[in-house]
A and B are shown apart, each in its own frame.
Chain A
Amino acid sequence: MSILKNRVLIEVNGNSPQKFILKLNHNKIDLLKINKINEKKYNILINYEDLKKVKKINTIYKIKVLNYYGIVKILKLLFNFYHVIIITFLGIMGLYLLSNVIFSVEIVTNDSEMKEKLLNTLSELDISKYHLKRNYEYLQQAKDKILKEYSDEIEWIEINNIGTKYIVKYEPKIINKTKENDNYKNIVAKKNAVILSIYASSGNILKSKNTYVNKGDIIISSDIYLNNEKKDKVPVVGKVYGEVWYETKVVYPFNYFAQKKTGKKNKYFRLKVINKKIDVFKFKSFNDKIDIESKIIKNSLLPIGFYKVIEEEVETKTGMNVVEELRLLAVNYAYEKLNETLKDDEYIIKSKILDSKIIPKGIQMTIFFSVAEDIGMYH
């Protein structure tokens, strides 16, 4: 029997199956092989395309399909075991991903600043967590780019792939640091201020606490004097904090729209094909949410990408503020905005509302701030 010919073995069961065989014959259905099982039962091999016709002709007999032959058998098997095939396919895909995805990038250094910079640069070059492994040529190109970008800081770099991890080793340029240490610069005021504190481990302190300084005034000098005579030059190391003043104008609207994260998260995967998004393993969804996508695989040639999605639930509030609340919100807003510009060691000393008036949009306030800031800079 040719494996390409689609055939089906059926069982005909009932009283006088011969009559049914005659009926099939009169309906021009080819009975390729007939086997008598007993007086009431026959097994008949027919062409697959005749099966529907046989079932249509049948009225009282029990017709049971015993087996399929040819391509149709392969298709039926595939259909019957589609879940096994899908699981196997996903398993192979998963295995491929697990063995070809980088789960960690380690930079061997004690310099946390450099480590951060290198991780960011590597991430821009798609050498980061949950990205596919790169080939030798790509890593060589990446190394060249890093060496070019950090030509003043890095002498040599190596990216080694061990399992699902990249280990990055580099040699810093020591010569540059020596040069920096040899730099005999003064610390001057970068803005007008009243000095709050001076911390100096090296250098000659020229100004004292609570002194008003103008922008550009030398606060710590590298020159060492003895009896008004310059004796030596030392490298200056220190910090100067001063009180500086700002006047800010804030306009805060009556209407507000606020979104607050509830802390509930939903993680799933997303397949993007052109403009279509197909979410995988997404079992629930929030009404108000923010989606954060992180790329797992993205083809630079085809518009296909596979992403990990973290969906965070948010509470949305809209409404209208009353004037009393509005004043407080405007001041808080001004505080927040100013704080954003300050470093960790800088802080707001005090504030005062200079002017407040209602305008059609909301409230307009002029606020004075006194801030403790690092006012020193090398010059």
Chain B
Amino acid sequence: MLKEYIIDSNFKITIEINKINIQNYGVLVSFSDNFISIKKNKLKINITGKDLLIKNLIKDELLIVGDIIKIEYISLDDK
């Protein structure tokens, strides 16, 4: 309990204008200027936009900047 409290391992996504911060993002599957794909357990997140750039990529945090058009959550259980 204490460990979980101190080390926050929960998946968390923060959306700001032209900026997305994802904590405990799992695996970065692919990225390009207009598409970034992330996989966390049985959840896949596809971000579509323009001039997308991963500014920061450390083991438990990821920061994307650019013109974000769409964020898609796909549950892999459904497929």
Interface residues of A (CB under 8 A from B): 18, 21-22, 25-26, 28, 30-34, 36
Contact = CB atoms under 8 A, between A and B. Distances in A.
B58 A31 contact: yes
B59 A22 contact: no
A26 B54 CA distance: 15
Contacts of A33: 55-56
B53 interface: yes
22 contacts: A18-B30, A18-B31, A18-B32, A21-B54, A21-B57, A22-B28, A22-B30, A22-B31, A26-B27, A28-B59, A30-B57, A30-B58, A30-B59, A31-B54, A31-B56, A31-B57, A32-B56, A33-B55, A33-B56, A34-B53, A34-B56, A34-B57
Nearest to B62: A25
Contacts of A25: 28, 57
A34 B57 CA distance: 8
A187 to B, nearest CB: 106
Interface in B41-79: 53-59
A21 B64 CA distance: 14
Nearest to A19: B30
A25 B56 CA distance: 11
Interface of B: 27-28, 30-32, 53-59
User: What are the 4 tightest A-B residue pairs by CB atom distance, in nearest-first order?
Assistant: A30-B58, A31-B57, A25-B28, A28-B59
Given A18-B32, A22-B28, A36 B53 contact: yes
Determine chain A's interface SS by DSSP, over half rule.
mixed
A30 B28 CA distance: 13
Interface centre among B27, B31, B57 (most CB of A within 10 A): B57
Contacts of A26: 27
A26 B59 CA distance: 9
Contacts of A21: 31, 54, 57
Nearest to A47: B58
A32 B28 contact: no
A26 B55 CA distance: 17
Given A21-B31, A34-B57, 6 more contacts: A18-B31, A21-B57, A22-B30, A31-B58, A33-B55, A33-B56
Contacts of A28: 59
A34 B31 CA distance: 13
A223 B59 CA distance: 117
A75 B18 CA distance: 39
A25 B57 CA distance: 7
Contacts of B57: 21, 25, 30-31, 34
Contacts of B28: 22, 25
A1 to B, nearest CB: 13
A32 B56 CA distance: 5
A34 B54 contact: yes
Interface centre among B28, B30, B31, B54 (most CB of A within 10 A): B54
A33 B63 CA distance: 10
Contacts of B58: 30-32
A368 B30 CA distance: 113
